[in-house]
A and B are shown apart, each in its own frame.
Chain A
Protein backbone atom coordinates (compact mmCIF):
# COMPACT_ATOMS: atom_id res chain seq x y z
CA UNK A 1 0.00 0.00 0.00
CA UNK A 2 2.83 2.32 0.94
CA UNK A 3 4.60 1.58 -2.32
CA UNK A 4 1.44 2.28 -4.28
CA UNK A 5 1.03 5.61 -2.50
CA UNK A 6 4.66 6.51 -3.22
CA UNK A 7 4.17 5.74 -6.89
CA UNK A 8 0.99 7.80 -7.08
CA UNK A 9 2.83 10.71 -5.46
CA UNK A 10 5.77 10.30 -7.80
CA UNK A 11 3.47 10.18 -10.80
CA UNK A 12 1.52 13.28 -9.77
CA UNK A 13 4.45 15.40 -8.60
CA UNK A 14 6.57 14.48 -11.60
CA UNK A 15 3.69 15.33 -13.92
CA UNK A 16 2.85 18.69 -12.38
CA UNK A 17 6.36 19.91 -11.61
CA UNK A 18 7.80 19.08 -15.03
CA UNK A 19 4.88 20.94 -16.61
CA UNK A 20 5.23 23.98 -14.35
CA UNK A 21 8.97 24.08 -14.95
CA UNK A 22 8.56 24.03 -18.70
CA UNK A 23 6.25 26.96 -19.20
CA UNK A 24 7.97 29.18 -16.60
CA UNK A 25 4.70 30.01 -14.93
CA UNK A 26 6.20 32.99 -13.15
CA UNK A 27 5.86 34.64 -16.57
CA UNK A 28 2.65 33.35 -18.17
CA UNK A 29 3.32 35.26 -21.39
CA UNK A 30 5.26 32.24 -22.69
CA UNK A 31 2.13 30.10 -22.30
CA UNK A 32 -0.19 32.63 -23.93
CA UNK A 33 2.19 33.22 -26.81
CA UNK A 34 2.70 29.49 -27.50
CA UNK A 35 -0.74 28.18 -26.69
CA UNK A 36 -3.32 30.91 -27.22
CA UNK A 37 -2.09 33.60 -29.61
CA UNK A 38 0.31 31.66 -31.85
CA UNK A 39 -2.07 28.78 -32.67
CA UNK A 40 -4.85 30.97 -34.01
CA UNK A 41 -2.45 32.42 -36.56
CA UNK A 42 -1.48 28.94 -37.70
CA UNK A 43 -5.14 27.99 -38.10
CA UNK A 44 -5.87 31.22 -39.99
CA UNK A 45 -2.82 30.98 -42.25
CA UNK A 46 -3.56 27.47 -43.46
CA UNK A 47 -7.28 28.15 -43.71
CA UNK A 48 -6.65 31.14 -45.98
CA UNK A 49 -4.09 29.18 -47.98
CA UNK A 50 -6.46 26.22 -48.26
CA UNK A 51 -9.47 28.26 -49.30
CA UNK A 52 -7.27 30.07 -51.83
CA UNK A 53 -6.46 26.63 -53.25
CA UNK A 54 -9.81 24.87 -53.10
CA UNK A 55 -12.54 27.45 -52.46
CA UNK A 56 -14.26 28.98 -49.47
CA UNK A 57 -16.64 26.07 -48.94
CA UNK A 58 -13.69 23.90 -47.85
CA UNK A 59 -12.71 26.17 -44.94
CA UNK A 60 -13.99 23.75 -42.26
CA UNK A 61 -11.58 21.07 -43.50
CA UNK A 62 -8.59 23.31 -42.78
CA UNK A 63 -9.93 24.79 -39.55
CA UNK A 64 -10.59 21.37 -38.00
CA UNK A 65 -7.31 19.95 -39.31
CA UNK A 66 -5.14 22.73 -37.97
CA UNK A 67 -7.03 23.06 -34.69
CA UNK A 68 -6.59 19.32 -34.05
CA UNK A 69 -2.94 19.49 -35.03
CA UNK A 70 -2.36 21.94 -32.18
CA UNK A 71 -2.09 18.92 -29.87
CA UNK A 72 1.40 18.64 -31.30
CA UNK A 73 2.47 21.71 -29.33
CA UNK A 74 2.00 19.73 -26.14
CA UNK A 75 2.35 16.19 -27.43
CA UNK A 76 5.54 16.78 -29.40
CA UNK A 77 7.26 19.89 -28.02
CA UNK A 78 5.92 19.70 -24.46
CA UNK A 79 6.42 16.01 -23.73
CA UNK A 80 9.78 15.83 -25.50
CA UNK A 81 11.13 18.85 -23.68
CA UNK A 82 9.87 17.61 -20.32
CA UNK A 83 12.23 14.64 -20.75
CA UNK A 84 15.04 16.45 -22.59
CA UNK A 85 14.91 19.23 -19.99
CA UNK A 86 16.30 16.87 -17.35
CA UNK A 87 19.38 16.39 -19.46
CA UNK A 88 19.93 20.07 -20.14
CA UNK A 89 19.21 21.17 -16.60
CA UNK A 90 21.56 18.56 -15.17
CA UNK A 91 18.91 16.66 -13.19
CA UNK A 92 19.02 13.47 -15.25
CA UNK A 93 21.76 11.81 -13.15
CA UNK A 94 19.65 12.35 -10.01
CA UNK A 95 16.66 10.73 -11.68
CA UNK A 96 18.73 7.78 -12.85
CA UNK A 97 20.27 7.41 -9.40
CA UNK A 98 16.92 7.41 -7.61
CA UNK A 99 15.09 4.16 -6.86
CA UNK A 100 11.87 5.62 -8.35
CA UNK A 101 9.72 3.41 -10.54
CA UNK A 102 10.81 4.31 -14.06
CA UNK A 103 7.51 3.59 -15.79
CA UNK A 104 5.59 5.76 -13.32
CA UNK A 105 8.11 8.58 -13.59
CA UNK A 106 8.32 8.35 -17.38
CA UNK A 107 4.60 8.20 -18.11
CA UNK A 108 3.95 11.00 -15.63
CA UNK A 109 5.80 13.39 -17.90
CA UNK A 110 3.02 13.16 -20.47
CA UNK A 111 -0.10 13.29 -18.39
CA UNK A 112 -0.59 17.05 -17.90
CA UNK A 113 0.32 17.63 -21.52
CA UNK A 114 -2.49 15.33 -22.62
CA UNK A 115 -5.06 17.52 -20.87
CA UNK A 116 -3.33 20.76 -21.79
CA UNK A 117 -3.17 19.56 -25.40
CA UNK A 118 -6.93 19.04 -25.31
CA UNK A 119 -7.36 22.60 -24.07
CA UNK A 120 -5.17 23.77 -26.96
CA UNK A 121 -7.43 22.03 -29.50
CA UNK A 122 -10.54 23.48 -27.87
CA UNK A 123 -8.99 26.96 -28.04
CA UNK A 124 -8.22 26.39 -31.73
CA UNK A 125 -11.77 25.22 -32.44
CA UNK A 126 -13.20 28.15 -30.46
CA UNK A 127 -11.14 30.56 -32.57
CA UNK A 128 -12.37 28.72 -35.65
CA UNK A 129 -16.00 29.20 -34.65
CA UNK A 130 -15.58 32.81 -33.54
CA UNK A 131 -13.33 34.16 -36.29
CA UNK A 132 -13.58 31.82 -39.27
CA UNK A 133 -17.19 30.68 -39.02
CA UNK A 134 -16.64 26.99 -38.27
CA UNK A 135 -19.99 25.22 -37.98
CA UNK A 136 -20.13 22.73 -35.11
CA UNK A 137 -23.93 22.55 -34.91
CA UNK A 138 -24.01 18.94 -36.21
CA UNK A 139 -21.16 17.75 -34.01
CA UNK A 140 -21.47 15.23 -31.21
CA UNK A 141 -19.70 17.14 -28.36
CA UNK A 142 -18.96 14.10 -26.19
CA UNK A 143 -17.67 12.14 -29.15
CA UNK A 144 -15.52 15.04 -30.28
CA UNK A 145 -14.04 15.38 -26.79
CA UNK A 146 -13.25 11.67 -26.77
CA UNK A 147 -11.50 11.96 -30.14
CA UNK A 148 -9.51 14.98 -28.96
CA UNK A 149 -8.48 13.04 -25.85
CA UNK A 150 -7.30 10.05 -27.89
CA UNK A 151 -5.36 12.25 -30.30
CA UNK A 152 -3.72 14.05 -27.37
CA UNK A 153 -2.86 10.62 -25.93
CA UNK A 154 -1.39 9.21 -29.14
CA UNK A 155 0.58 12.37 -29.90
CA UNK A 156 1.99 12.36 -26.38
CA UNK A 157 3.00 8.72 -26.95
CA UNK A 158 5.08 9.86 -29.90
CA UNK A 159 6.37 12.72 -27.75
CA UNK A 160 7.59 10.20 -25.14
CA UNK A 161 9.50 8.32 -27.84
CA UNK A 162 10.98 11.57 -29.17
CA UNK A 163 11.82 12.62 -25.62
CA UNK A 164 13.80 9.43 -25.09
CA UNK A 165 15.60 9.91 -28.38
CA UNK A 166 16.36 13.49 -27.35
CA UNK A 167 18.64 12.07 -24.67
CA UNK A 168 21.06 10.93 -27.37
CA UNK A 169 20.98 13.96 -29.66
CA UNK A 170 22.03 17.57 -29.17
CA UNK A 171 19.54 18.81 -31.76
CA UNK A 172 16.31 18.21 -29.87
CA UNK A 173 14.52 21.20 -31.40
CA UNK A 174 15.48 20.11 -34.90
CA UNK A 175 13.82 16.74 -34.30
CA UNK A 176 10.76 18.35 -32.67
CA UNK A 177 10.27 20.89 -35.43
CA UNK A 178 10.69 18.21 -38.05
CA UNK A 179 8.05 15.95 -36.50
CA UNK A 180 5.65 18.86 -35.97
CA UNK A 181 5.92 19.95 -39.60
CA UNK A 182 5.78 16.40 -40.94
CA UNK A 183 2.48 16.01 -39.10
CA UNK A 184 1.24 19.15 -40.88
CA UNK A 185 2.16 17.60 -44.21
CA UNK A 186 1.43 13.90 -43.75
CA UNK A 187 -1.49 13.50 -41.34
CA UNK A 188 -4.23 14.91 -43.53
CA UNK A 189 -4.22 18.25 -41.76
CA UNK A 190 -4.08 20.33 -44.93
CA UNK A 191 -4.09 17.73 -47.69
CA UNK A 192 -6.43 14.71 -47.69
CA UNK A 193 -4.31 11.60 -47.14
CA UNK A 194 -5.62 9.98 -50.32
CA UNK A 195 -4.23 12.90 -52.35
CA UNK A 196 -0.71 12.40 -51.02
CA UNK A 197 1.75 10.36 -53.14
CA UNK A 198 1.10 6.63 -52.78
CA UNK A 199 4.45 5.94 -51.10
CA UNK A 200 3.65 8.50 -48.38
CA UNK A 201 0.23 7.14 -47.40
CA UNK A 202 1.47 4.11 -45.37
CA UNK A 203 3.60 6.53 -43.31
CA UNK A 204 0.53 8.71 -42.70
CA UNK A 205 -1.44 5.74 -41.43
CA UNK A 206 1.05 4.94 -38.67
CA UNK A 207 1.40 8.52 -37.46
CA UNK A 208 -0.69 9.76 -34.56
CA UNK A 209 -3.41 12.27 -35.50
CA UNK A 210 -4.24 10.85 -38.95
CA UNK A 211 -7.04 8.54 -37.79
CA UNK A 212 -8.24 10.86 -35.02
CA UNK A 213 -8.48 13.73 -37.45
CA UNK A 214 -10.52 11.60 -39.82
CA UNK A 215 -12.83 10.72 -36.93
CA UNK A 216 -13.14 14.36 -35.81
CA UNK A 217 -14.11 15.53 -39.30
CA UNK A 218 -16.76 12.83 -39.52
CA UNK A 219 -18.16 13.67 -36.09
CA UNK A 220 -18.40 17.36 -37.02
CA UNK A 221 -20.52 16.46 -40.04
CA UNK A 222 -22.95 14.61 -37.78
CA UNK A 223 -21.72 11.01 -37.95
CA UNK A 224 -22.44 8.80 -34.94
CA UNK A 225 -19.68 7.99 -32.47
CA UNK A 226 -20.01 4.27 -33.24
CA UNK A 227 -19.03 5.01 -36.82
CA UNK A 228 -15.62 6.34 -35.81
CA UNK A 229 -14.77 3.88 -33.03
CA UNK A 230 -12.29 1.94 -35.22
CA UNK A 231 -10.32 5.17 -35.83
CA UNK A 232 -10.36 5.94 -32.12
CA UNK A 233 -9.11 2.42 -31.39
CA UNK A 234 -6.23 2.82 -33.82
CA UNK A 235 -5.24 6.15 -32.25
CA UNK A 236 -5.15 4.58 -28.78
CA UNK A 237 -3.12 1.62 -30.06
CA UNK A 238 -0.63 3.95 -31.76
CA UNK A 239 -0.28 5.99 -28.58
CA UNK A 240 0.44 2.83 -26.56
CA UNK A 241 2.96 1.52 -29.10
CA UNK A 242 4.85 4.82 -29.32
CA UNK A 243 4.74 5.36 -25.55
CA UNK A 244 6.02 1.86 -24.76
CA UNK A 245 8.71 2.13 -27.43
CA UNK A 246 9.74 5.39 -25.80
CA UNK A 247 9.91 3.72 -22.40
CA UNK A 248 12.10 0.89 -23.64
CA UNK A 249 14.42 3.36 -25.40
CA UNK A 250 14.57 5.38 -22.17
CA UNK A 251 15.54 2.30 -20.15
CA UNK A 252 18.10 1.26 -22.72
CA UNK A 253 19.67 4.73 -22.72
CA UNK A 254 19.76 4.68 -18.92
CA UNK A 255 21.64 1.38 -18.94
CA UNK A 256 24.03 2.49 -21.65
CA UNK A 257 24.69 5.84 -19.95
CA UNK A 258 25.50 4.10 -16.67
CA UNK A 259 27.65 1.47 -18.34
CA UNK A 260 29.65 3.97 -20.41
CA UNK A 261 29.74 6.73 -17.80
CA UNK A 262 28.12 9.22 -20.20
CA UNK A 263 25.30 10.27 -17.89
CA UNK A 264 26.30 13.92 -17.80
CA UNK A 265 27.47 14.22 -21.37
CA UNK A 266 25.61 16.98 -23.22
Chain B
Protein backbone atom coordinates (compact mmCIF):
# COMPACT_ATOMS: atom_id res chain seq x y z
CA UNK B 1 0.00 0.00 0.00
CA UNK B 2 2.84 2.36 0.83
CA UNK B 3 4.11 1.68 -2.71
CA UNK B 4 0.80 2.80 -4.24
CA UNK B 5 0.86 5.90 -2.08
CA UNK B 6 4.41 6.71 -3.17
CA UNK B 7 3.48 6.34 -6.85
CA UNK B 8 0.51 8.63 -6.33
CA UNK B 9 2.59 11.20 -4.44
CA UNK B 10 5.28 11.11 -7.09
CA UNK B 11 2.73 11.65 -9.81
CA UNK B 12 1.08 14.59 -8.05
CA UNK B 13 4.48 16.04 -7.14
CA UNK B 14 4.94 16.84 -10.82
CA UNK B 15 2.39 19.61 -10.45
CA UNK B 16 2.01 20.23 -6.71
CA UNK B 17 5.13 20.75 -4.68
CA UNK B 18 5.45 20.14 -0.96
CA UNK B 19 1.97 18.82 -0.23
CA UNK B 20 2.68 15.14 0.34
CA UNK B 21 0.85 15.09 3.65
CA UNK B 22 -2.26 16.57 2.06
CA UNK B 23 -2.09 14.05 -0.78
CA UNK B 24 -2.10 11.30 1.85
CA UNK B 25 -5.18 12.86 3.45
CA UNK B 26 -6.86 12.97 0.05
CA UNK B 27 -6.25 9.28 -0.51
CA UNK B 28 -7.32 8.50 3.06
CA UNK B 29 -10.63 10.29 2.48
CA UNK B 30 -11.12 8.61 -0.89
CA UNK B 31 -10.53 5.16 0.59
CA UNK B 32 -13.03 5.92 3.35
CA UNK B 33 -15.69 7.17 0.93
CA UNK B 34 -15.31 10.61 2.43
CA UNK B 35 -15.23 14.13 1.04
CA UNK B 36 -12.66 16.86 1.50
CA UNK B 37 -12.99 20.57 2.12
CA UNK B 38 -9.89 22.53 1.17
CA UNK B 39 -9.68 25.92 2.79
CA UNK B 40 -6.97 28.45 2.26
CA UNK B 41 -6.27 31.95 1.06
CA UNK B 42 -6.39 32.49 -2.73
CA UNK B 43 -3.45 31.34 -4.81
CA UNK B 44 -2.17 28.47 -2.70
CA UNK B 45 -3.05 25.71 -5.19
CA UNK B 46 -6.35 24.34 -3.88
CA UNK B 47 -7.94 23.84 -7.27
CA UNK B 48 -4.70 22.67 -8.83
CA UNK B 49 -4.25 20.02 -6.14
CA UNK B 50 -7.82 18.80 -6.54
CA UNK B 51 -7.38 18.53 -10.31
CA UNK B 52 -4.04 16.76 -9.95
CA UNK B 53 -5.48 14.25 -7.50
CA UNK B 54 -8.50 13.60 -9.69
CA UNK B 55 -6.32 13.00 -12.72
CA UNK B 56 -3.99 10.69 -10.80
CA UNK B 57 -6.78 8.70 -9.16
CA UNK B 58 -8.36 7.87 -12.51
CA UNK B 59 -12.11 7.61 -13.10
CA UNK B 60 -14.24 10.48 -14.28
CA UNK B 61 -13.83 14.03 -13.07
CA UNK B 62 -16.18 17.00 -13.25
CA UNK B 63 -16.05 20.48 -11.90
CA UNK B 64 -18.63 23.02 -10.80
CA UNK B 65 -17.53 26.62 -10.41
CA UNK B 66 -19.94 27.88 -7.78
CA UNK B 67 -21.32 31.38 -8.11
CA UNK B 68 -24.38 32.95 -6.45
CA UNK B 69 -26.54 32.20 -9.49
CA UNK B 70 -25.81 28.47 -9.71
CA UNK B 71 -29.07 26.59 -9.09
CA UNK B 72 -29.60 23.19 -7.41
CA UNK B 73 -30.63 21.76 -10.79
CA UNK B 74 -27.26 22.89 -12.20
CA UNK B 75 -25.67 20.58 -9.63
CA UNK B 76 -27.90 17.50 -9.48
CA UNK B 77 -29.67 17.54 -12.84
CA UNK B 78 -33.05 18.29 -14.36
CA UNK B 79 -36.04 16.67 -16.05
CA UNK B 80 -36.75 18.60 -19.23
CA UNK B 81 -39.40 18.23 -21.91
CA UNK B 82 -37.88 17.07 -25.17
CA UNK B 83 -40.10 18.36 -28.01
CA UNK B 84 -38.64 15.83 -30.46
CA UNK B 85 -39.60 12.78 -28.44
CA UNK B 86 -42.56 14.51 -26.75
CA UNK B 87 -41.34 13.08 -23.42
CA UNK B 88 -39.68 14.31 -20.29
CA UNK B 89 -36.03 13.44 -20.34
CA UNK B 90 -33.54 13.30 -17.49
CA UNK B 91 -30.32 15.25 -17.84
CA UNK B 92 -27.98 14.50 -14.96
CA UNK B 93 -25.85 17.28 -13.55
CA UNK B 94 -22.12 17.17 -12.94
CA UNK B 95 -22.59 15.06 -9.79
CA UNK B 96 -22.66 11.97 -12.01
CA UNK B 97 -18.93 11.42 -11.79
CA UNK B 98 -16.27 9.76 -9.63
CA UNK B 99 -14.58 12.92 -8.43
CA UNK B 100 -16.48 16.18 -8.26
CA UNK B 101 -14.61 19.43 -7.72
CA UNK B 102 -16.93 21.96 -6.07
CA UNK B 103 -14.82 25.06 -6.54
CA UNK B 104 -15.45 28.02 -4.22
CA UNK B 105 -18.43 26.27 -2.68
CA UNK B 106 -19.13 29.14 -0.28
CA UNK B 107 -19.99 31.44 -3.19
CA UNK B 108 -23.17 29.40 -3.85
CA UNK B 109 -26.39 30.26 -2.08
CA UNK B 110 -27.44 28.04 0.85
CA UNK B 111 -30.15 26.55 -1.39
CA UNK B 112 -27.60 25.35 -3.91
CA UNK B 113 -25.17 24.24 -1.23
CA UNK B 114 -27.95 22.11 0.26
CA UNK B 115 -28.39 20.27 -3.01
CA UNK B 116 -25.10 18.54 -2.21
CA UNK B 117 -26.30 17.22 1.17
CA UNK B 118 -28.01 14.13 -0.20
CA UNK B 119 -25.31 13.62 -2.80
CA UNK B 120 -22.56 13.62 -0.19
CA UNK B 121 -24.25 11.48 2.44
CA UNK B 122 -26.39 9.04 0.50
CA UNK B 123 -24.51 9.07 -2.80
CA UNK B 124 -27.68 9.59 -4.73
CA UNK B 125 -29.51 12.52 -6.28
CA UNK B 126 -33.27 12.90 -6.20
CA UNK B 127 -34.66 14.71 -9.22
CA UNK B 128 -38.42 15.18 -9.46
CA UNK B 129 -38.98 12.38 -6.95
CA UNK B 130 -36.72 9.95 -8.75
CA UNK B 131 -33.60 8.83 -6.87
CA UNK B 132 -30.57 8.12 -8.99
CA UNK B 133 -27.50 6.41 -7.55
CA UNK B 134 -24.15 8.00 -8.21
CA UNK B 135 -21.18 6.06 -9.57
CA UNK B 136 -18.79 4.42 -7.16
CA UNK B 137 -16.24 5.51 -6.00
CA UNK B 138 -17.53 9.02 -5.49
CA UNK B 139 -15.85 11.94 -3.77
CA UNK B 140 -16.54 15.65 -3.48
CA UNK B 141 -13.51 17.91 -3.23
CA UNK B 142 -14.74 21.34 -2.25
CA UNK B 143 -12.62 24.46 -2.01
CA UNK B 144 -13.35 27.69 -0.25
CA UNK B 145 -11.53 30.84 0.72
CA UNK B 146 -11.68 31.86 4.36
CA UNK B 147 -15.12 33.33 4.88
CA UNK B 148 -14.04 36.41 6.79
CA UNK B 149 -12.02 37.80 3.91
CA UNK B 150 -14.84 37.55 1.41
CA UNK B 151 -17.86 39.62 0.56
CA UNK B 152 -20.79 37.89 -1.10
CA UNK B 153 -20.15 34.46 0.35
CA UNK B 154 -22.38 32.14 2.35
CA UNK B 155 -20.91 30.09 5.18
CA UNK B 156 -21.53 26.38 4.85
CA UNK B 157 -24.20 25.13 7.28
CA UNK B 158 -23.15 22.88 10.15
CA UNK B 159 -24.96 19.91 8.59
CA UNK B 160 -22.85 20.22 5.48
CA UNK B 161 -19.60 20.77 7.34
CA UNK B 162 -20.28 17.56 9.23
CA UNK B 163 -20.47 15.69 5.94
CA UNK B 164 -16.90 16.53 5.05
CA UNK B 165 -14.53 13.81 6.18
CA UNK B 166 -11.55 16.17 6.40
CA UNK B 167 -11.06 19.89 6.35
CA UNK B 168 -7.57 20.73 5.21
CA UNK B 169 -5.84 24.08 5.34
CA UNK B 170 -3.36 24.26 2.48
CA UNK B 171 -1.12 26.88 4.04
CA UNK B 172 1.81 28.56 2.36
CA UNK B 173 4.74 26.62 0.90
CA UNK B 174 8.15 26.86 2.53
CA UNK B 175 10.98 28.97 1.08
CA UNK B 176 12.57 26.09 -0.82
CA UNK B 177 9.23 24.66 -1.93
CA UNK B 178 8.28 28.02 -3.41
CA UNK B 179 11.62 28.17 -5.21
CA UNK B 180 10.78 24.76 -6.74
CA UNK B 181 7.35 26.06 -7.73
CA UNK B 182 8.96 29.00 -9.51
CA UNK B 183 11.33 26.70 -11.40
CA UNK B 184 8.68 24.09 -12.27
CA UNK B 185 6.18 26.57 -13.63
CA UNK B 186 8.68 28.83 -15.40
CA UNK B 187 8.11 27.44 -18.87
CA UNK B 188 5.41 24.78 -18.74
CA UNK B 189 2.21 23.68 -17.09
CA UNK B 190 3.02 20.32 -15.50
CA UNK B 191 -0.58 19.37 -14.78
CA UNK B 192 -0.88 18.37 -18.43
CA UNK B 193 1.76 15.68 -17.81
CA UNK B 194 -0.16 13.97 -15.02
CA UNK B 195 -1.61 10.59 -15.97
CA UNK B 196 -3.86 8.22 -14.03
CA UNK B 197 -1.92 5.84 -11.80
CA UNK B 198 -4.93 4.23 -10.10
CA UNK B 199 -8.13 2.76 -11.48
CA UNK B 200 -11.64 2.68 -10.08
CA UNK B 201 -11.20 -1.06 -9.37
CA UNK B 202 -8.04 -0.34 -7.36
CA UNK B 203 -9.93 2.17 -5.27
CA UNK B 204 -12.90 -0.14 -4.66
CA UNK B 205 -10.56 -2.95 -3.61
CA UNK B 206 -8.66 -0.66 -1.24
CA UNK B 207 -11.93 0.69 0.18
CA UNK B 208 -12.78 -2.85 1.28
CA UNK B 209 -9.30 -3.52 2.67
CA UNK B 210 -9.18 -0.35 4.75
CA UNK B 211 -12.30 -1.42 6.66
CA UNK B 212 -10.44 -4.49 7.85
CA UNK B 213 -7.80 -2.50 9.74
CA UNK B 214 -8.14 -3.43 13.41
CA UNK B 215 -9.24 -1.06 16.17
CA UNK B 216 -8.52 -2.38 19.65
CA UNK B 217 -10.76 -1.65 22.61
CA UNK B 218 -8.16 0.71 24.07
CA UNK B 219 -8.10 2.66 20.84
CA UNK B 220 -11.90 2.75 20.72
CA UNK B 221 -11.86 4.20 24.24
CA UNK B 222 -9.17 6.71 23.26
CA UNK B 223 -11.17 7.91 20.25
CA UNK B 224 -14.36 8.08 22.29
CA UNK B 225 -12.71 9.96 25.14
CA UNK B 226 -11.46 12.61 22.68
CA UNK B 227 -14.88 12.92 21.07
CA UNK B 228 -16.61 13.17 24.43
CA UNK B 229 -14.09 15.77 25.57
CA UNK B 230 -15.20 17.96 22.64
CA UNK B 231 -18.73 17.80 24.03
CA UNK B 232 -17.70 18.87 27.53
CA UNK B 233 -14.97 21.39 26.81
CA UNK B 234 -15.79 24.86 28.21
CA UNK B 235 -14.75 26.62 24.98
CA UNK B 236 -16.90 24.42 22.75
CA UNK B 237 -20.58 25.04 22.17
CA UNK B 238 -21.29 22.09 19.87
CA UNK B 239 -18.98 19.09 19.96
CA UNK B 240 -18.34 16.33 17.45
CA UNK B 241 -21.33 14.25 16.32
CA UNK B 242 -21.54 10.44 16.18
CA UNK B 243 -20.92 10.82 12.46
CA UNK B 244 -17.74 12.60 13.48
CA UNK B 245 -16.81 9.66 15.74
CA UNK B 246 -17.17 7.23 12.84
CA UNK B 247 -15.15 9.49 10.56
CA UNK B 248 -12.49 9.81 13.26
CA UNK B 249 -12.13 6.03 13.55
CA UNK B 250 -12.10 5.52 9.79
CA UNK B 251 -9.53 8.25 9.28
CA UNK B 252 -7.23 6.54 11.79
CA UNK B 253 -7.82 3.22 10.00
CA UNK B 254 -7.02 4.91 6.69
CA UNK B 255 -3.75 6.29 8.00
CA UNK B 256 -2.72 2.91 9.40
CA UNK B 257 -3.62 1.24 6.09
CA UNK B 258 -1.60 3.74 4.08
CA UNK B 259 1.35 3.08 6.41
CA UNK B 260 1.05 -0.65 5.71
CA UNK B 261 -0.27 -1.59 9.15
CA UNK B 262 -3.27 -3.73 10.07
CA UNK B 263 -3.99 -1.92 13.35
CA UNK B 264 -4.23 1.68 14.47
CA UNK B 265 -1.99 3.37 16.99
CA UNK B 266 -2.44 6.47 19.17
CA UNK B 267 -0.23 8.35 16.70
CA UNK B 268 -2.75 7.68 13.93
CA UNK B 269 -5.52 9.06 16.10
CA UNK B 270 -3.55 12.13 17.14
CA UNK B 271 -2.42 12.86 13.61
CA UNK B 272 -5.87 12.81 12.02
CA UNK B 273 -7.74 14.48 14.91
CA UNK B 274 -7.34 18.13 13.77
CA UNK B 275 -8.36 17.31 10.19
CA UNK B 276 -11.41 15.26 11.18
CA UNK B 277 -12.68 17.25 14.14
CA UNK B 278 -11.83 20.92 13.66
CA UNK B 279 -14.65 21.69 11.23
CA UNK B 280 -17.18 19.72 13.26
CA UNK B 281 -16.82 21.91 16.35
CA UNK B 282 -18.56 25.15 17.07
CA UNK B 283 -16.76 27.24 19.66
CA UNK B 284 -18.56 29.33 22.25
CA UNK B 285 -18.43 33.11 21.84
CA UNK B 286 -15.79 33.44 24.56
CA UNK B 287 -13.86 30.47 23.21
CA UNK B 288 -13.82 31.81 19.67
CA UNK B 289 -12.37 35.11 20.91
CA UNK B 290 -9.32 33.39 22.33
CA UNK B 291 -8.74 30.18 20.41
CA UNK B 292 -9.18 28.50 17.08
CA UNK B 293 -10.77 25.09 16.63
CA UNK B 294 -7.40 23.49 16.00
CA UNK B 295 -5.96 25.03 19.18
CA UNK B 296 -8.84 23.58 21.21
CA UNK B 297 -8.30 20.13 19.68
CA UNK B 298 -4.60 20.32 20.53
CA UNK B 299 -5.57 21.27 24.10
CA UNK B 300 -7.83 18.24 24.30
CA UNK B 301 -5.21 15.90 22.84
CA UNK B 302 -2.57 17.13 25.26
CA UNK B 303 -4.89 16.59 28.23
CA UNK B 304 -5.86 13.03 27.25
CA UNK B 305 -4.18 9.96 28.61
CA UNK B 306 -2.67 8.06 25.72
CA UNK B 307 -3.15 4.28 25.77
CA UNK B 308 0.22 2.63 26.02
CA UNK B 309 -0.86 -0.83 24.98
CA UNK B 310 -2.56 -1.38 21.70
CA UNK B 311 -2.23 -4.28 19.40
CA UNK B 312 -3.75 -5.78 16.37
CA UNK B 313 -6.89 -6.94 18.12
CA UNK B 314 -9.96 -6.85 15.98
Q: Do A and B come from one complex?
A: no
